[in-house]
Homo-oligomer: A and B are copies of this chain.
Amino acid sequence: METQGETQDVGAGSIGDWASRSADPGYRAAVVDLLGALAYGELSAFERLAEDAKFAPGLADKAALARMASAEFQHFQLLHDRLAAVGADPDEAMTPFVEPLEGFHRLTAPSDWLEGLVKAYVGDAIATDFYREVAVRLDDDTRDLVLGVMADTGHAQFAVDKVRQAIEENPRVGGRLALWGRRLMGEALSQAQRVVAERDALSNLLVGGAQVQGFDLVEVGKMFNRITEAHTKRMAALGLAS
């Protein structure tokens, strides 16, 4: 999915390939953390989309959500296989992220079809923005994987069309969904802050540490701000004030 132009340029130089970088145990642990978080995020997105499909008003809509869920599962598989290929235990790598992600989903269970669509759209977009941001911190091999997983979605237009149509038919729906969008972003940031606070290796990757180019805690805050700004623009594009 396309994001607005606020996120960092992905092609900004190489820090080496996996073979050279993974000799550093701190870097290795950070990448295993990152892949574990992304993998569980995809598996969890699969589950939620599949569950939300039951709200679908018709068979074509149900199939569209099932298609998105299935695409998320393919992403999960790629990330899972990569973890296994670098000698990590995929389950172990995912485990620390189960609780933050389940917490997010528990606090943002959609109550109807439109809330489910907005959540699928916003969740996918936030994930894409985060992938792009973190990609510049990664070795070439891990970066290719992360950008490949990200590039494959493209289901957002479905959600955009359905939500716009619903707002046109009943403008009051817009107010409710705008509130919902703010809540989704708030809960996502809250869980992300929790992960940054708890996962040292991953946080060191995000804030730079000794080995990676400069990027401090202020920069992490700026990254969250860029993602929030991109979210605001997307919500406006959806016809929702955020």
Interface of A toward B, CB cutoff 8 Å = 40, 43, 46-47, 50-51, 53-54, 58-60, 62-63, 66-67, 69-70, 73-74, 76-77, 80, 90-91, 94-95, 98
- For the residues of A in contact with B, the DSSP-based class is helix
A46–B59 contact, CB under 8 A? no
Inter-chain pairs besides A43-B59, A50-B51, A59-B95, 17 sampled, C-beta below 8 Å? A40-B59, A43-B63, A46-B50, A46-B66, A46-B69, A46-B70, A47-B53, A47-B62, A47-B66, A50-B69, A59-B91, A59-B98, A60-B90, A66-B73, A66-B76, A69-B73, A70-B70
Residue of B nearest to A60 (CB): B91
Q: How many copies does the complex hold?
A: 2
A76 to B59, alpha carbons, bound, how many Å? Answer: 12
- Residues of B near A80 (CB, < 8 A) are 63
- Residues of B near A73 (CB, < 8 A) are 66-67, 69-70
What 4 A-B pairs are tightest by C-beta distance, nearest first? Answer: A50-B50, A70-B73, A59-B91, A70-B70
- Residues of B near A70 (CB, < 8 A) are 46, 69-70, 73-74
A139 to B60, alpha carbons, bound, how many Å? Answer: 27
A80 to B62, alpha carbons, bound, how many Å? Answer: 13
- Residues of B near A98 (CB, < 8 A) are 59
Looking at the complex, which one of B58, B66, B67, B90 makes contact with A91 (CB distance below 8 Å)? B58
Q: State how many angstroms separate the Cβ of A143 from the closest Cβ of chain B.
A: 24
B67–A43 contact, CB under 8 A? no
Q: State how many angstroms separate the Cβ of A18 from the closest Cβ of chain B.
A: 23
- Residues of B near A76 (CB, < 8 A) are 63, 66
A117 to B94, alpha carbons, bound, how many Å? Answer: 23
- Residues of B near A77 (CB, < 8 A) are 67
Q: State how many angstroms separate the Cβ of A89 from the closest Cβ of chain B.
A: 10
- Residues of B near A66 (CB, < 8 A) are 43, 46-47, 73, 76
A77 to B77, alpha carbons, bound, how many Å? Answer: 19
Residue of B nearest to A48 (CB): B50
